[in-house]
Amino acid sequence: MGERHLRPAGEPGGALARSVPLTRDFFDRPGHEVAPDLLGRVITHGPVSVRLTEVEAYGGPGEDPASHTFRGRTPRNAVMFGPPGHLYVYFTYGMHFCANLVCLPEGAGAGVLLRAGEVVAGVETATARRAAGTGRAVAGRDLARGPARLAVALGFAREHNGLDACPPGPIAVLRGDPAPPVSIRSGPRTGVAEGGRIPWRFWIDGDRTVSPYRPHVPRRR
């Protein structure tokens, strides 16, 4: 899926090809097309790199009731309406940051939530970041298992909202080893109330870093 977006003609294969950053046209597609194509890619920020194993797509204004952009542009979601390939970081439940990659052309308001992955570089840094937040040691598979944990492992916080994840930005999404289509599963999005049944959560089947699915549970007043 989407291999035409990844590598210029004549680019050598092997390890060198895997380290090639994805360019903006890769993200200039609907989120539900970009999302499965992100599985197996590697997002890197500073010393830490994470191989993505689980993601969720979100649509644009008036289209997807689960999306932050459903009711239109606000100061909080403005980055989602910017150019594709930028990082949208938001604060949730008064305690966690989560990270998304913006999709579609400027003004569209769509993106992909980065839900889980495997830390493949900078394990010591990621472990220290997670321990600072929890006060206890964290097992390897749990370092980036869940969207908040992934954001902590990569060091994403409010000041990273809007950063460019395309060359020559400070964040890169590398080609990596794209997950084979036969290994990709899809299903309802985690913890989503309206629009939760839309099967835009994608994950690599059998990967131990994928987070558990939890349906939306209404809060008691």
| Residue 31 to residues 111, 112, 132, 177, 203, Cα–Cα distance (Å) | 5, 6, 33, 20, 14
Q: What is the mean pLDDT of residues 211-218?
A: 72
End-to-end CA distance of the chain: 44
pLDDT at 22 over 50: yes
How much is the mean pLDDT over the chain?
A: 88
pLDDT at 86 over 80: yes
Q: What is the mean pLDDT of residues 195-220?
A: 82
pLDDT at position 14 is 77
pLDDT at position 71 is 85
- Domains plus CATH for the chain? 3-204 (3.10.300.10)
Confidence tier at 3 by pLDDT (50, 70, 90): very low
Q: Give 130-183 pLDDT, tens digit per residue.
A: 998 677 778 889 999 999 999 999 999 999 999 999 999 899 999 999 999 999
pLDDT at 220 over 70: no
pLDDT at position 36 is 98
Q: Give 30-72 pLDDT, tens digit per residue.
A: 999 999 999 999 999 999 999 999 999 999 898 888 888 888 8
pLDDT at position 4 is 33
pLDDT at position 23 is 96
pLDDT at 6 over 60: no
DSSP category for residue 64: -
pLDDT at position 5 is 39
Within 8 A by CB and 6+ apart from 184, the residues are 36, 39, 202, 203, 204, 205
Three-class DSSP category at 141: helix
Give the residue, 23 or 3, on which the prediction is more confident.
23
DSSP one-letter string for 181-219: GGGEEEEPPTT-STTTTS--EEEETT-TTSPPP----PP
Tokens of 89: 């970081």
Q: What is the mean pLDDT of residues 109-132?
A: 95
pLDDT at position 135 is 75
